[in-house]
Every structure is written in C-alpha cells, then in structure tokens.
C-alpha cells in the first residue's frame, strides 16, 4: 500500500482529473494517462490497482452509451475471451515485484502506442480476417494489459482498422476497455495483489475521473480535437521514453 500522504493523494486526484479530461475530449486515454503518470510516482502494480474503479465506471458508461452492444458482443466475443486469457497470463509480470522491469515495460508500451498513433498511416483489415485475427489481437492485448496495465496495444489500432461506424467504434472501444479492466482486476485478485487501501483509494478516484470527463466534454467543443490529441500523444511519448531510459 502506498504512503497516503497529502502530496500523494493530491497527485492521484490530479492524475485522474487530467486523465478524465483526455477521455472526455478523445473518447479514450484514461487508463493510459493514469498508468503513465502514476507509474512514475509509485510501482506499476499499485498504479494498476488504483486504476480499477475509475476505469470500470468510465468504460461502462462508454460501453452502454451506444446502440449496438449485442451485435458488437456477438462479433467480438472471441477477441474479448482472448483478452481475459492473455491478461491472466500477463499479470505474472506485473506482480513479480521487479518494479524496474515492469516500469520499463510500461514505458515501452506508452512509447509504442504514442509513436503508432502519431506517425502510422491508417490501415484496413478485411472482415474475412476477423475469425483468426480477433482472438490473436485479443490475446496480445491481454498480455500487454496484464504485464503493464495499459489496455490500448494492439486493440485500439486493430478496432480502428475495421472501418466501424463512429458510434460503433466508440462502443467497441468501451467493450474492449471494460473487459480489459475486469480481466486485470480478476488477475490481480487471483494473485493476491489487491490491498484494501488501494481499492478504497481507487473508488475515491472515481470522482475526479468523472469530473475530468465532464470538463473534457465541455472542452471538446472549444478546442480542435486533433490538436489536443497530438499534444497528448507527444507528452505520452516523452513520458514513456523517460520511464524506459531513466534508472529506478
């Protein structure tokens, strides 16, 4: 359990508020921002534990906000099942206690995602490839989720490549993030890595996360989302590089 000083509590509150703003503006990014910042302040395992409650609430909100939940469940259930299986396996890394290794892995995941989102060209995946590609992507996403607490690689690029309608894409991302969050929670619970204090603090973090989402939705109409997104990704890239390169 982390030292619950006023400074640490303020840092957690500010982190989830900012992460909520990012999610409110872009539709994603709360777990990525929270893991990136908290992974610098505390161990990735503790950061992942603090992430569970606010991530669950905000992702369930996103999941049920769209019109196509049942069709998306029918289409992507093999991917979601593989996410859970991969997370159960990958969490062995997060719970090893080797904070230097897990911090570097977390930093690498942030760099990979930010670099891909900034510099890659949009690809398209034919529907005929989904029966075998979806479970493969799900398993890879689960391994990354279990090992680092970051949900986005490679699920987000893959879902973006399927040419889904805008509302369906947002809901599919919500589905993937929700399953990843519950898979991570189950993995940490099975490995005895949850502490009561972390869970209580995670629940308290729901409030700043929701406040940040509301603020982000207000900001969405006042700033250019693409400009905000580029700035966010550049910050994420620098943060991940720092986590990879600076010894701890």
Nearest to 190 by CA among 46, 57, 51, 91: 91
Contact 161, 125 (CB under 8 A): yes
Tens-digit pLDDT profile for residues 142-159: 998 888 888 888 898 899
10-16 CB contacts, 8 Å cutoff, 24+ apart: 11/37, 11/38, 11/41, 12/38, 12/50, 12/201, 12/205, 13/205, 13/208, 14/208, 15/41, 16/54, 16/205, 16/208, 16/209, 16/212
Instruction: Band the pLDDT of 207: cuts 50, 70, 90.
Output: very high
The confidence band for 23, taking pLDDT boundaries of 50, 70 and 90, is: confident
pTM: 0.82
DSSP helix/strand/coil, 2: coil
Joined together, the tokens standing for residue 230 give 């580029």
Q: What are phi and psi of 62, to 5 degrees?
A: -65, -40
**What are the extents of the domains in the chain?**
6-245
> What mean pLDDT comes out for the span 237-241?
83
């Amino acid at each position: 359990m982390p030292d619950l000083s006023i400074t640490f509590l303020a840092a957690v509150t500010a982190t989830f508020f900012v992460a909520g703003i990012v999610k409110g503006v872009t539709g994603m990014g709360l777990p990525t921002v929270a893991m990136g910042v908290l992974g610098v302040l505390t161990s990735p395992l503790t950061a992942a534990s603090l992430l569970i409650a606010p991530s669950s609430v905000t992702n369930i909100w996103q999941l049920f906000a769209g019109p196509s939940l049942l069709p998306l469940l029918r289409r992507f259930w093999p991917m979601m099942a593989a996410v859970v299986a991969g997370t159960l396996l990958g969490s062995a890394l997060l719970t090893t206690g080797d904070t230097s290794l897990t911090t570097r892995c977390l930093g690498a995941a942030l760099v990979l995602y930010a670099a891909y989102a900034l510099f890659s060209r949009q690809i398209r995946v034919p529907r005929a490839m989904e029966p075998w590609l979806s479970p493969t992507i799900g398993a890879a996403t689960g391994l990354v989720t279990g090992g680092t607490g970051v949900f986005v690689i490679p699920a987000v690029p893959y879902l973006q490549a399927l040419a889904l309608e805008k509302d369906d894409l947002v809901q599919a991302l919500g589905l993937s993030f929700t399953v990843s969050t519950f898979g991570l929670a189950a993995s940490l619970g099975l490995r005895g890595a949850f502490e009561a204090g972390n869970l209580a603090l995670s629940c308290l973090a729901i409030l700043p996360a929701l406040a940040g989402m509301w603020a982000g939705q207000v900001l969405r109409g006042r700033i250019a989302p693409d400009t905000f997104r580029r700035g966010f990704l550049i910050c994420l890239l620098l943060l991940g590089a720092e986590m990879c390169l600076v010894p701890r």
